[in-house]
Structure 1
């Protein structure tokens, strides 16, 4: 409850600051840097790049990362994660089939692999039921993890394709400044916060 209250206060504060900053926009003198046509031509923005990266990743996992030239550390994570989750899916599925077959054979009165030749049970009926439930849950979780990694690598390829096209040169600046708000009573001035960036 405390955390949600802090988040609400934080969001309210920044929303209020943005409203006050918008109101003061007309009264603040700002210097604007003119952008020439030659500078605009230097920006090489491809609006289809994120779509292509997402499409390539959807067709073949990791292809979007190769398209973005960000594959040297991302491909091992993608293939390692997917291979691990697929391995656990196959292992849990095989174990589930073993336990389920043994449970069905036992219910039919036939010998199973979890019963000794003298008739003593290595695993009880309740144990077999519990093992089936746990192995099915593990199998489904492994499948969900595989699908999640597949979707995340598509999203990551698209977002990276967006971000690598942004200008991150040294001409970008960010300068915070406090601006008094005189639209209220002179006896109780309010203070707002503005973040200005120039490029």
Structure 2
């Protein structure tokens, strides 16, 4: 029994040498991202600027190439809304003239019946309302995009964390294989 106890005690002491020694372990972690680089108010500023003037949040984020896309989308929506609104009022005004009894038999819409005028009004009104909803949606998307872009600008992306396609040779049949390589360096 004493021999067994002595062997277990000896193995315990040899395996765990730090029982009697005090070691000081210092772990140094170097972060490549400075504290000054992160501005927690940046996303809210970008969203606020885009809400005030569409495209201003993209300029704040220095994503200048997105500004023409924002103005093209919102401007196109406003243009489609104006065109549908103009046509809606044309057909509505012609229908009102016919109801008042002042219609011109040689007028621009003389070939249309009253039912066709009502149908055209409803169609252009529906398209006008839909284009307004889409334009408001694009305006909100502009604000959200500026906010998300400002958040992603603060995301740490460097060569220590990469995901890239890789072509490697299979050792069994010497064929080329395609795969993804995820590298993370400490």
The answer, yes or no, to whether TM exceeds 0.5 is yes
Alignment partner of 2:154 out of 146, 162, 165: 165
Stretches of 4+ aligned residues off by more than 4 angstroms = 195-199
Q: Deviations over 1:48-95 (max 9, x none)?
A: 000000000000100000000001x21111111111111111121111
Q: 1:66 to 1:40 in 2, by over 3 A?
A: closer
Alignment partner of 2:59 out of 39, 55, 66: 66
The count of residues paired between Structure 1 and Structure 2 equals 142
Give the alignment's Cα RMSD to 1 decimal. Answer: 2.6
Q: 1:98 to 1:46 in 2, by over 3 A?
A: same
Q: Please give the TM-score of this superposition, normalised by the length of structure 1.
A: 0.63
Contact 1:173–1:198 under 8 Å retained in 2: no
* Structure with larger RCO (C-alpha < 8 A, sep 6+): 1
Q: Take 2:185 and 2:119, find their aligned partners in 1: how far apart are those partners? A: 63
Q: Please give the TM-score of this superposition, normalised by the length of structure 2.
A: 0.68
Where does structure 2 lack aligned partners over 5 or more consecutive residues?
1-26, 164-181
Where does structure 1 lack aligned partners over 5 or more consecutive residues?
1-32, 175-194
Q: Which structure is larger by alpha-carbon Rg, 1 or 2?
A: 2
Q: Take 2:93 and 2:33, find their aligned partners in 1: how far apart are those partners? A: 69
